[in-house]
């Protein structure tokens, strides 16, 4: 699968499945990710100290697999968008967006690269483009690029309709930790105020034809949000998979050894 194919699945009402790469730094194990059930990964550079060179190595190897690499950039800024795409990302997740201007800058950088500045903003705002040849060139060059907007605060939820008026958004990301803290129920994901807020994000986004990612760590929570309409499924992290895999295996081995 590539970015264009992933978008096609979502635009047709389907679901895609992915995880967050939060701690891994060596790309040698990436080929083993192919065939385990992943359509995409989000490589974190917001909360991870991965260098630009390391990111480029990661993306180079991921692009030899059938798993679509998306980068969570540090802040919603066009410079970081183009830096990730230039390194080989097929999409970006822009965290903690709170203004329409931030959303427009992210979408313009992702969908109109290498067009910049006033010319790019003119197109995003519905204005003209230099020529139809230029439009075809930009559409073809950016056909795999995915633009995901982070809605992680009460302010962002209130502005969601405005955000979704910007053409070119491929997904809305909800960060449960940030959102629950904002709502006064930190990491209390069974609280009604949290559930109602995230469900509101899903319903508004789906009304605009835009799927939602709700990043949770347990299968139970991820299943719940699938049942509530999440289609851009982002589940777990590499760190959690390693820890839980070892805990399960060695828990069974210790139990067996104790009863032998």
Model confidence over 112-126: pLDDT tens digits?
999 999 999 999 998
Give the ranges where the chain is alpha helix by DSSP (H).
3-11, 52-62, 78-86, 100-111, 117-124, 132-141, 154-158, 160-164, 176-182, 192-207, 219-227, 238-259
Cβ atoms < 10 Å from Cβ of 188: 12
The whole domain housing 32 covers 3-259
Q: 54: domain CATH number?
A: 3.20.20.60
Q: Specify the pLDDT at position 35.
A: 85
Q: Specify the pLDDT at position 146.
A: 98
Summarised one tens digit per residue, pLDDT across range 11-46 is 999 999 999 999 988 888 898 888 899 999 999 999
Are residues 3 and 68 in contact, defined by beta-carbon separation less than 8 angstroms? yes
- CA–CA distances in Å: residue 229 to residues 37, 64, 191, 192: 20, 31, 18, 17
Summarised one tens digit per residue, pLDDT across range 51-75 is 899 999 999 999 999 999 999 999 9
Q: Specify the pLDDT at position 236.
A: 95
Q: Specify the pLDDT at position 144.
A: 97
Q: Which two tokens stand for residue 190?
A: 């069974």
State the helix-helix crossing angle for 100-111 and 117-124, rounded to 10 degrees: 110
For the chain, the average pLDDT equals 95
Burial of 193-202, coded b for 16+ CB within 10 Å and e otherwise, reads ebeebbbebb
Are residues 199 and 228 in contact, defined by beta-carbon separation less than 8 angstroms? yes
Are residues 41 and 18 in contact, defined by beta-carbon separation less than 8 angstroms? yes
For the segment 168-189, the average pLDDT, to the nearest whole number, is 97
Rounded distance, CA 166 to CA 153, Å? 19
Closest CA to 223 of 11, 15, 5, 71: 15
Instruction: Please tell me which residue, 260 or 258, carries the higher pLDDT value.
Output: 258
Provide the pLDDT confidence category of residue 49 given band limits of 50, 70 and 90: confident
Instruction: Please identify which residue in the block is written with the tokens 């802040």.
Output: 75
Rounded distance, CA 203 to CA 208, Å? 9
Chain-centroid distance, C-alpha 36: 19
Q: How many domains does the chain have?
A: 1
Provide the pLDDT confidence category of residue 162 given band limits of 50, 70 and 90: very high
For the segment 194-223, the average pLDDT, to the nearest whole number, is 97
């Amino acid at each position: 699968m590539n970015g264009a194919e992933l978008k096609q699945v979502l635009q047709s009402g389907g679901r895609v499945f992915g995880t967050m790469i939060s701690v891994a730094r060596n790309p040698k194990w990436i080929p083993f990710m192919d065939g385990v059930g992943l359509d995409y990964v989000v490589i974190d550079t917001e909360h991870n100290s991965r260098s630009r060179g390391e990111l480029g190595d990661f993306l180079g190897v991921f692009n030899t697999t059938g798993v679509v690499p998306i980068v969570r950039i540090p802040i919603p800024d066009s410079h970081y968008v183009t830096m990730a795409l230039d390194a080989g990302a097929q999409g970006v997740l822009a965290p903690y967006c709170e203004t329409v201007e931030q959303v427009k800058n992210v979408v313009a950088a992702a969908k109109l690269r290498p067009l910049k500045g006033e010319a790019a903003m003119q197109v995003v705002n519905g204005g003209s483009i230099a020529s139809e040849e230029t439009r075809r060139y930009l559409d073809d060059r950016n056909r795999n690029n995915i633009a995901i907007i982070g809605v992680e605060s009460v302010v962002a939820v209130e502005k969601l309709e405005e955000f979704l008026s910007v053409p070119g958004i491929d997904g809305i990301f909800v960060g449960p930790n940030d959102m629950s803290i904002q709502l006064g129920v930190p990491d209390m994901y069974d609280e009604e105020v949290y559930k109602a807020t995230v469900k509101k994000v899903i319903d508004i986004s789906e009304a605009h034809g835009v799927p939602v990612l709700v990043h949770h760590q347990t299968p139970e929570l991820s299943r719940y949000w699938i049942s509530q309409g999440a289609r851009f499924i982002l589940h777990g992290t590499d760190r959690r998979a390693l820890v839980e895999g070892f805990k399960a295996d060695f828990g069974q081995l210790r139990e067996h050894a104790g009863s032998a």
